[in-house]
Amino acid sequence: MKILVTGGAGYIGSHTVLQLIAAGHQVVVVDDFSNAKASVAGRLEELSGTSIPIHSFDVADLDKLNGLFDAEDFDAVVHFAGYKAVGESVANPLDYYGNNIGATISLLQAMDRHEVRHLVFSSSATVYGADPIVPMTEGLPTSATNPYGWTKVMIEQVLRDLVVAQPDNRIALLRYFNPVGAHPSGQIGEDPSAVPNNLMPFVAQVAVGRRDKLSVFGDDYDTVDGTGVRDYIHVEDLAAGHVAALHWIAEHDRTISTWNLGSGVGTSVLQLVNAFEKASGVKIPYEIAPRRDGDIAASVADPSLAHRELGWQTEKTVDDMCADTWRWQQANPQGYP
């Protein structure tokens, strides 16, 4: 297939691009590089051994998008492009609604005009809202606790409405749990542009000496050790989930499918810190800090639907995630050049 990957220069997008190429597909990337570095491109070409057309523009730009769809005969789209920082979304809600929803609408319009019917969308476990039943199953009601999360809830709804009007669409909503880790080469990985919001990149930056210590946000949750529990998923497993979903929707007649992509295993903040210390041999200094606004005690997937339908499940452990993150962080202490 010839596949358009929006946000293909970003963290999850870049890993997925490599796996799509490895599965024999042709890939074209659109990315505005608002949260990615140009040097990703060369590394992707080196690792894949092919040249990858990368178009640098905002997916919300419908004219440019239509031009690209005119020039290329896409079979499917994998849509990653979007803002993803929770705190920033609270401070700048209009940017988040405008960008995430606007880009998706433009993309859907261009797809419709060019009769491209297959779409894999990056959703998030954040759509299970403030008080989910754990482990989370796809049938739970959706809601959100911040504008970022609401953009995911709203885009899911847009897509559900769309397939009612256009039942020849084949759409996958992939609800990611907590993606971490890096490509085993150490050449591509997560490169936060500012102070990391997420636990794993923060821990990795402490380990490599860029930050003094970790703040553990709360130790009085009702969890194994009082710290927040999450379902960490290796970005390589997550990328494989996209390939599996793309193949599945090409072969089945269901208009819209929703799958959790998680491991089903919960890991606390302190358990992750311990695993990282073991993988790196570096002590991670930390202090207990107040709870972070909007955090929930535990978020763990029930990944059985994806396993049953896609034949997909995670292969990598938390130790693998830490080892690969550490390899990437050591090779690229300041991120991409």
Enzyme catalytic residues: 148
Q: How far is residue 245 from each of residues 83, 121, 306, measured CA to CA in Å?
A: 23, 10, 9
Return the residue of 48, 56, 166, 197 that touches ligand UDP, per CB under 6 A: 197
Of 75-83, 164-172, 185-193, 210-218, the window that binds ligand UDP (rule: CB under 6 A) is: 210-218
- Using Cβ positions, the residue closest to ligand UDP within the complex turns out to be 228
Report, in Å, the least distance between residue 109 CB and ligand UDP.
30
Q: If DSSP codes are grouped into helix, strand and coil, which group holds residue 284?
A: coil
Question: Which residue in 254, 292, 315, 319 binds ligand UDP (CB under 6 A)?
Answer: 292
Size of the site for ligand UDP (CB under 6 A): 15
Q: Looking at 19-27, 42-50, 208-216, 304-312, which segment touches ligand UDP (CB under 6 A)?
A: 208-216
Give whole-number Cα distances, 162 to 31, 120, 125, 170, in Å: 24, 14, 22, 10
Closest CA to 92 of 130, 147, 129, 144: 147
Q: Smaller CB distance to ligand UDP: residue 52 or 272?
A: 272
Q: Residue 202, interface with ligand UDP (CB under 6 A)?
A: yes
Site string for ligand UDP, 132-171 (x = CB under 6 A): ----------------------------------------
The answer to whether residue 199 forms part of the interface with ligand UDP (CB under 6 A) is yes
Q: How remote is the C-alpha of 323 from its chain's centroid?
A: 19
Q: In degrees rounded to 5, what are phi and psi of residue 220?
A: -120, 25
Measured distance CA(166)–CA(173) in Å, rounded:
16
Asked if 269 interacts with ligand UDP (CB under 6 A), we say: yes
Residues between 229 and 248 that touch ligand UDP (CB under 6 A): 230
Our CB check for ligand UDP shows the closer of 217 and 336 to be 217
> Using an 8 Å Cβ cutoff, are 106 and 32 in contact?
no
Alpha helices, DSSP H, located in the chain: 11-22, 39-48, 62-71, 86-91, 93-96, 102-113, 147-165, 199-207, 235-251, 269-280, 304-310, 318-331
Rounded Cα distance, 117 and 126, in Å? 26
Neighbours of 220 (CB within 10 A): 11
Q: How far is the CB of 205 from ligand UDP (least distance, A)?
A: 10
Residues 22-41 that bind ligand UDP (CB under 6 A): none
Q: Which residues contact ligand UDP (rule: CB under 6 A)? A: 178, 197-199, 202, 214-217, 228, 230, 269, 292, 295, 299
